[in-house]
Amino acid sequence: MAEQTQAQQARTQAPTTGREWHLVARPDGWPVPEDFALVEVPVRAPGPGQILVRNEYLSVDPYMRGRMNDVKSYAPPFRLGAVMDGGAVGRVVASEAEGFAVGDAVLHGLGWREYATVDAAGAVRVDPALPLQAYLGVLGMPGLTAYAGLLEVGGFQPGEAVFVSGAAGAVGSVVGQIAKLRGASLVVGSAGSDEKVRRLTEEFGFDAAFNYREGPVAEQLAKVAPEGIDVYFDNVGGEHLEAAIGALRLRGRAVLCGAIAQYNDTTPPAGPRNLALAIGKRLRLEGLLVGDHYALRPQFAAEVGGWLAEGKLVFEDTVVEGFDQAVAAFLGMLRGANTGKMLVHVAA
């Protein structure tokens, strides 16, 4: 025993099988549980340059719905009969890679499985002093999406008024807080329940918020932002985008980040009927993918990490317990069951 390496020790402790969630059918409209299968597979020992990770938290994200369709898009479609890729954090349980030791906390992209055998190049060690799940949310892809979207694509400037849809979600809740911290004159948001609306103003510091299910978005937006807005951060599409185009002031910007309202539509949604207003108001609408903005990561980590450390920025997760609940968590997220980041807690 004395001559075993740490890696060998860890390997002997690793289990021989683990579970994965596979996509087994492409949904037509809303996904259903039958589109997925829980599969038990052998755990592959790490080869040279690889690590074995026991996942602790999995990410379920809106963009995954798009990857379930067999269409060319920015991310390749999920393969049928294969695991649902995506963000996950866990601990190294065996390492054959330099720079990774057993017990290290890591972030990787191999998704919905209990154990992942990861190439070292595909894993990032994260600060174990911070909550692990923050790397899937406020300090991870959703946080960077909010930061880059508001500041780079949206060109937000201090003193401007910002409207965020899906504002209680993983991205939206961070957008609103960054806007306030960066000097917005007004930050308003929409969400799909009174409880979320309450949290927007009481916990996330929005100036005002409304429940979009309670009346026309344009009317409710006009009440909370009667003088209009300069930046609209769109997580929703549909009626929200049309209302925002109406409310945007001269040279306003719409950051097109998501369109969750229509991801499960089987017929094309209505487009904004007032888009011609963009001419006279010289509006700019621009699509955002976080992958274009990785150069911002150091600045993002310093600024947002600093706000977190100072307690100026808060985050909230909605954590679903149990690996077997991953599909339920995903479907719940698509229906808006979460406040902040929706996560699956894998290991008790």
287: contact with a copy of itself by CB under 8 A? yes
Q: What's the closest the beta carbon of residue 8 comes to a copy of itself, in angstroms?
A: 45
Compute the distance between CA of residue 161 and CA of residue 313 in angstroms, rounded to an integer.
19
327: contact with a copy of itself by CB under 8 A? no
DSSP element (H, E) containing 205: none
3-state secondary structure of 298: helix
Q: What's the closest the beta carbon of residue 164 comes to a copy of itself, in angstroms?
A: 16
Q: Which of 288, 320, 326, 342 binds a copy of itself (CB under 8 A)?
A: 288
Binding span for a copy of itself by CB under 8 A among 1-9, 28-36, 173-181, 257-265: 257-265
Binding span for a copy of itself by CB under 8 A among 29-37, 47-55, 66-74, 135-143: 66-74
Binding span for a copy of itself by CB under 8 A among 172-180, 262-270, 327-335, 340-348: 262-270
218: contact with a copy of itself by CB under 8 A? no
Listed in sequence order, the DSSP H helices in 182-269 are 194-202, 217-224, 238-247
Q: What's the closest the beta carbon of residue 241 comes to a copy of itself, in angstroms?
A: 7
Residue 25-64 contact track with a copy of itself, rule CB under 8 A, x = bound: ----------------------------------------
Compute the distance between CA of residue 123 and CA of residue 142 in angstroms, rounded to an integer.
18
3-state secondary structure of 222: helix
Q: In angstroms, what is the C-alpha Rg of the chain?
A: 21
69: contact with a copy of itself by CB under 8 A? no
3-state secondary structure of 267: coil
3-state secondary structure of 66: helix
107 DSSP assignment: E
Strands 105-108 and 123-125 turn out to be antiparallel
Following DSSP, what letter does each residue of 178-217 receive, concatenated? HHHHTT-SEEEEEESSHHHHHHHHHTS--SEEEEGGGS-H
295: contact with a copy of itself by CB under 8 A? no
For residues 235 and 258, the answer to whether their CB atoms sit within 8 Å is yes
Q: Which of 7, 105, 285, 329 binds a copy of itself (CB under 8 A)?
A: 285
CA 229 centroid distance within chain: 24
Residue 128-167 contact track with a copy of itself, rule CB under 8 A, x = bound: ----------------------------------------
289: contact with a copy of itself by CB under 8 A? yes
Q: Which of 2, 121, 129, 279 binds a copy of itself (CB under 8 A)?
A: 279
Question: Total binding residues for a copy of itself by CB under 8 A?
Answer: 33
Binding span for a copy of itself by CB under 8 A among 5-13, 119-127, 235-243, 309-317: 235-243
Q: Which of 25, 45, 222, 278 binds a copy of itself (CB under 8 A)?
A: 278
Compute the distance between CA of residue 122 and CA of residue 283 in angstroms, rounded to an integer.
39
Q: Which residue has the tokens 């996560």?
A: 343
283: contact with a copy of itself by CB under 8 A? yes
3-state secondary structure of 62: coil
Q: What's the closest the beta carbon of residue 211 comes to a copy of itself, in angstroms?
A: 23
Please return the burial class of 227, using the count of CB atoms within 10 Å of its CB with bins 0-12, 13-18 and 19+: exposed
Compute the distance between CA of residue 166 and CA of residue 236 in angstroms, rounded to an integer.
6
Please return the burial class of 198, using the count of CB atoms within 10 Å of its CB with bins 0-12, 13-18 and 19+: middle
Compute the distance between CA of residue 93 and CA of residue 51 in angstroms, rounded to an integer.
8
Compute the distance between CA of residue 132 and CA of residue 126 in angstroms, rounded to an integer.
8
270: contact with a copy of itself by CB under 8 A? yes
347: contact with a copy of itself by CB under 8 A? no
Binding span for a copy of itself by CB under 8 A among 180-188, 252-260, 296-304, 320-328: 252-260
Q: Which of 102, 272, 320, 338 binds a copy of itself (CB under 8 A)?
A: 272
Residues that bind a copy of itself (CB under 8 A): 66, 73-74, 237, 241-242, 256-259, 262, 268-276, 278-289, 292
